[in-house]
Structure 1
Amino acid sequence: MKIGIIGANGNAGKLILAEAVKRKHEVTAIVRDRSKVAESVDVIEKDIFDLQTEELAAFDVVVDAFGEWQNVLLHQTTLKHLADQLSGHHHTRLLVVGSAGSLYIDEAKSSRVIDDPNMPAEFKALATSMAKAFDALKIRTDVNWTYASPATLFVVDAPLTNRFTIVSNDRLTFNENGENTIGYADFAVAVVDEIETGDFIGKRFSVIAD
């Protein structure tokens, strides 16, 4: 498959890229600075807002692994830009590396992780912006989208285990140890699995360690 990965030099993006390359997909890194791409792959060196329909629609899947901690509003504006550019181009899937903040924490699905008063303030602004971005995306029928939520504890340097569970109910879910956690390496495997299977078109899934 032809896969374009936006933010391919970030913590999640570079592992998704490496996993896709390992599985022999035709991968292109989409970054602002090509010198930061470690893998030997094709590169599109552009700001995300400069990406146009003809570039994005050339891929079977576009992975949005854009990351930004300071100007959190960018998570909304960049995702809207990508969705607008892919509007009506249903042959290209937009797979978004998202947040756990919009997962529901109750059976009635009335409260989300971002509504928890105990959520650390340093994460709340980012998670809230990403939740708003997802809210805007999930009502669109003109875009072939998938949203991948990591666990609330997303561990950069956790070793690859290949032991994880895919959750499809939009709720914060815990493993048998009472944990909601996933390593970046295992999350990358789950994302590429979904690229290949297409089980969650027009849906969100989350990933937790077993």
Structure 2
Amino acid sequence: MNIAVIGATGMVGSSVVAEAVRRGEHVDAYSRKGDAPASELVTPHALQFADTAAVVDIINSHDVTLITVAGRDNYEAVREAHHALIEAKPQGRFIVVGGAGALQVDAHTRLFDTEQFPEAYLPEAKTFGAILDDYRAHAGALQWTMIAPAPAIAPGKRTGLLATELDTPAGEFVSSQDFAIAVVNEMEQPQHVGERFTVASVHVDAARA
């Protein structure tokens, strides 16, 4: 496959690049500075996610593209960039990494609506909840998928034992390596086009080690 990863130097992006390379996939690795490590299977490129025309070209010229841009320095800019991407209507398949905070507790309540949700994470959670709503409003026009981690994600171990759910948390923790497995699985064998799914590590202690 010919894969693109936008946000390739972050925790999730670098884990996905590593997992894709492990499987022998070719990866174009995009970051703001273009400083992803190069190798026989990885070609680094510089990209600003706000450059909608460039992002559309990337999506349309690859088998699948991952967008993992958290935008913690400017959440509104990230939402605007996704909105512009939706309006541009790329024809290729792409996967967006969303936040766990916008997962559902039940049909009417998201995690960020609960009293115990940490206030510090509200801006990110609400931003990606709104981004998800935007994509769902255009479900038939785009080949999008959103994947959200468990409420806690951090570098750990690659266990390969995953639990997945649609919209509601599949568990409490996922290692970035296990999360990357789920992402590349979806890249290679798409199961969730036009919807959001979420993933957790089955054996938390092993994944955290």
TM-score by length of 1: 0.88
What is the distance in 1 between the residues matched to 2:187 and 2:4? 11
Q: Helix, strand or coil for the counterpart of 1:34?
A: coil
Partner of 1:125: 123
Runs of 4+ in 1 over 6 A off after TM superposition: none
Say which of 68, 74, 84 aligns to 2:77: 74
CA deviation string 1:55-114 (max 9, x = no partner): 3310111100112223221331222233333x151xx111001111221112xx011101
Are 1:19 and 2:15 counterparts? no
1:9-158 superposed matches below 5 A: 9-35=9-35, 37-40=36-39, 41-52=42-53, 53-85=56-88, 87=89, 89=91, 92-106=92-106, 109-140=107-138, 141-155=140-154, 157-158=155-156
Q: State percent identity of aligned pairs.
A: 27
The aligned counterpart of 2:185 is: 193
How far off its partner does 1:208 sit? Answer: 1.1
Q: Which whole-Å deviations, capped at 9, do the CAs of 1:105-163 have from their partners, x for residues lacking one? A: 12xx01110101211111111111111111111121211001001001112x2211111
**DSSP-derived class of the 2:30 partner:** strand
Structure-2 residue corresponding to 1:177: none
Q: Please state which structure has a larger fraction of its residues in helix.
A: 2
Q: Give the deviation of 1:51 after TM superposition.
A: 4.4
* Root-mean-square deviation over aligned CA pairs: 1.5
- Aligned partners of 1:54, 1:118: CA distance in 2, in Å? 42
Amino acid at match of 1:112: R
Cα pair 1:10 1:67 within 8 Å, conserved: no
* Unmatched tracts of structure 1, length 5 or more: 175-179
Tell me, in whole angstroms, the C-alpha distance in 2 between the residues paired with 1:24 and 1:173. Answer: 28
| Pair 1:29–1:88, CA change in 2 (3 A) | closer
Q: Is the Cα–Cα contact under 8 Å of residues 38 and 44 in structure 2 kept in the other structure?
A: no
Cα distance in 2 between the residues matched to 1:88 and 1:82: 7
Give 2:195's aligned residue: 203
- Aligned positions, number: 197
